[in-house]
Amino acid sequence: MNRNALRLSLACVATFAGVIFLFKDDGAGIGTQVPVPVQPGAGASAPPLASITMVRTDPPPLLATPPRADAAAEASNDQMNSSLMSPYSSDADARAAAIGDLDDATATPQSLSVLEQTVRFDEVSRNRILAVDLLRRLAQHGDESGRTAALLHLALADADPNVVTNARDALRAVEH
Amino acid sequence: MKRFLAFAAAAAVTVTSTAMADGFHHHRTSDFGVEVERLARIQSLEFFGVFAPLGESSTLSLSAAAADANPAALISVAPGLRVKIVSAAAALTPNIDQLVLWPNASQPTHIIACNEQGSGQIGVQRIDLKTGVPETIISSGLTSCDPGRVTAWGTLVVGEENGTNGRLFEILDPLHTSNVTVPAAGFGASSDPAHVVGRPALGQFAFEGLGILPNGVVYLTDENRPGGGGLGNPGGAFVKFIPTTLWTGGTITSLAQSPWASGSLYGMRLGRNGGNTDVGQGNQIGRGVWVEITGTAPINLRAAASTLKLTSFYRPEDMTVDPEVLAAGNVRVCGTNTGQDIPDSTPNGDNNWGEVYCVTDGTVAAASDVSVTSGINTASIPEFHPLVLGNPDFGMPDNIDIQPGTGNFLLNEDGEGALYPTPRNNDIWDCLDDGDDTDTLSDGCIKVMTLNDLTAESTGGIFDASGRHYYVSIQHNITGHGVILDVTGWR
């Protein structure tokens, strides 16, 4: 073997070693790209991510004392605590179902308390929309105390435009 | 010097090779998957019959006043499609799930609808397609009426999605049967037993998917989530009922003539290796066996599924028979396992977006045979494969129908988009079947409709025989009453 042939062999070995080094950590195979962590909803056609905690104005309280948890709310909490056995997909769905179970013809202090808690504090806007809609139906059956209308006015301050639109249309329906 | 030059040459070759390899590894200018999605969009007219797909899901949530003023606005559709209102009557029940075109899909005069409420509410209504006026067929007794189908022998079948209390009922002459009450539980007589009867021979679980063959063989799914009654318990099973006497044609004049009066039940258990012993968790795909389910009617099918180690899925929902495969004398039914699309921004987020699947079962003749050896029906072999896998934009598929003419699958999403950090509406997706490519998956999907009501879901979407009318219910929408729409304009 002459000296040039030896040098060429060494070059080939070096090249081969370089290629091996390049791919030595690529266990998934050639061409596999390093995955970038992406949260659900962050895809090209998915909704953008934002904090689920709402930034909302805090209107003055409607009740002299903070709303106490009534039977319906407690039932809802029970459902939350036993979510493993719950028929609902999520705690939010259980809260929505609890709203749906309220009588839509007669407002009671308990149901108004649930609705006020929902309008004020439920982080899922769908649930606040459901509460606003139930308030509309209750108000249309009569609102002597003015509390359902007051809660609808409260919803006008919501951070979600869908809730505001629903509250505004509800007030129009009630006031006409 | 010569030695130095040789080393430099070797290093140059190494660097060049490295650079080439690096280019191979990182210098792609496009994403192939994105390219496939782009192709589906730009060819949407050819493959999906719409001018363009929809992009983002709607984030709008109409008020009751706005929706009542224009119920068609409850849904936005892809360019080219149009929305007409079939009914938004105040008397239309609010939780309409599956829809049936009566007397058939070719010349329907009515839609018959299952209302998914409690036993004290109306269970089944018929809606005149010309006037939109609803009338009540079953006034009470049904809990969570969900599935509905026309049978080949001329009856209507409806079912309850009601755990192990779920029942199937057959209705004869539903246009002239009104205000019937059925028992809230069990199989006692209805108030009109000549026109409405329960079918204990088909067992009990949470009925949702019904894939009925013309001879009376029917595939059934249990809308059950895993873990019910205890950690590790199975989800919903896939069951087949074979009538004692197969239906051979014509229509019946008495419910006693129905092929569903008696028959035998079999459960799908995937895994054939090792003498059908590779079964259980870890095997949810491929070929399996039909395990005979024995007992006295009505059999608790959910309990049987657990005992017999049937393959289970995450909340199986609607199902449809592939008419093209059926016309060729074979069986293929496709359905949805809805999963659990709770966003991972919540503590119990699963990111299980569900799937669409298809099950083949050989020829109709083999699928209808009852050759049982050692508790296994050996006449046919069920084979399960996924068709569409869910994703964050397409979660929890529920109702399914195949569009006549195209063979495309229309899928109603029943997801939890309302719980997402930016709430989004449920959509309706249009998916191609699998083509001649190597895999067994759908060749592509596009979004063709999106709701404008965060409190609602679309349900029961069903085509007429022409494939040009797609009827769909906007269930539990903000108006408080039912809304059924007719989406046309398919090219």
In this predicted model, what pLDDT tens digit does every residue of A52-102 receive, in sequence order?
A: 233 343 433 444 333 333 333 343 333 333 334 456 768 899 999 999 999
Give the A:B interface size as CB pairs under 8 Å.
152
- Determine the distance in angstroms separating the CA of B7 from the nearest CA of chain A, rounded to an integer: 7
Answer whether A39 sits within 8 Å of B227, measured CB to CB. Answer: no
pLDDT band with cut points at 50, 70 and 90 for residue B193: very high
- Determine the distance in angstroms separating the CA of A174 from the nearest CA of chain B, rounded to an integer: 11
- The share of chain B scoring above pLDDT 70, in percent, equals 95
CA distance A96 to B346: 16
Give the residue among B311, B287, B168 at the shortest CA–CA distance from B239.
B311
Q: Name every chain A residue with its beta carbon within 8 A of the beta carbon of B389.
A: none
- Determine the distance in angstroms separating the CA of A63 from the nearest CA of chain B, rounded to an integer: 27
Answer whether B14 sits within 8 Å of A162, measured CB to CB. Answer: no
Interface test with B, best of A90, A99, A138 (most B CBs within 10 A): A90
CA distance B476 to B95: 5
pLDDT tens readout for residues B287-324: 999 999 999 999 999 999 999 999 999 999 999 999 99
Interface test with B, best of A162, A171, A175 (most B CBs within 10 A): A162
Answer whether B422 sits within 8 Å of A49, measured CB to CB. Answer: yes
Point out the residue among B9, B345, B393 whose CB comes nearest to the CB of A45. B393
pTM: 0.84
What is the average per-residue pLDDT within B473-479? 98
Point out the residue among B63, B342, B447 whose CB comes nearest to the CB of A89. B342
Q: Name every chain A residue with its beta carbon within 8 A of the beta carbon of B345.
A: 39, 49, 52
What is the average per-residue pLDDT within A113-140? 96
pLDDT tens readout for residues B231-255: 999 999 999 999 999 999 999 999 9
B72 within 8 A of B99, measured Cβ to Cβ: no
Give the DSSP letter of residue B335. Answer: E
pLDDT tens readout for residues B60-92: 999 999 999 999 999 999 999 999 999 999 999
- The residue whose two tokens read 């599924």 is B305
Instruction: Give the CA angle between residues B164, A74, B350 to the nearest 5°.
Output: 55
In order, the DSSP letters of B189-221 are: --SSTTTEEE-GGG-BS-EEEEEE-TTS-EEEE
Q: Name every chain B residue with its beta carbon within 8 A of the beta carbon of A130.
A: 455
Q: Is the dihedral of CA B318, B322, B326, B327 positive or negative?
A: positive
Return mean pLDDT, chain B: 94
Strands B196-198 and B168-171: antiparallel
- Determine the distance in angstroms separating the CA of B414 from the nearest CA of chain A, rounded to an integer: 11
Q: Name every chain A residue with its beta carbon within 8 A of the beta carbon of B14.
A: 11, 14-15, 17-18
CA distance B170 to B424: 38
- Determine the distance in angstroms separating the CA of B352 from the nearest CA of chain A, rounded to an integer: 11
Answer whether B60 sits within 8 Å of A162, measured CB to CB. Answer: yes
pLDDT band with cut points at 50, 70 and 90 for residue A143: confident
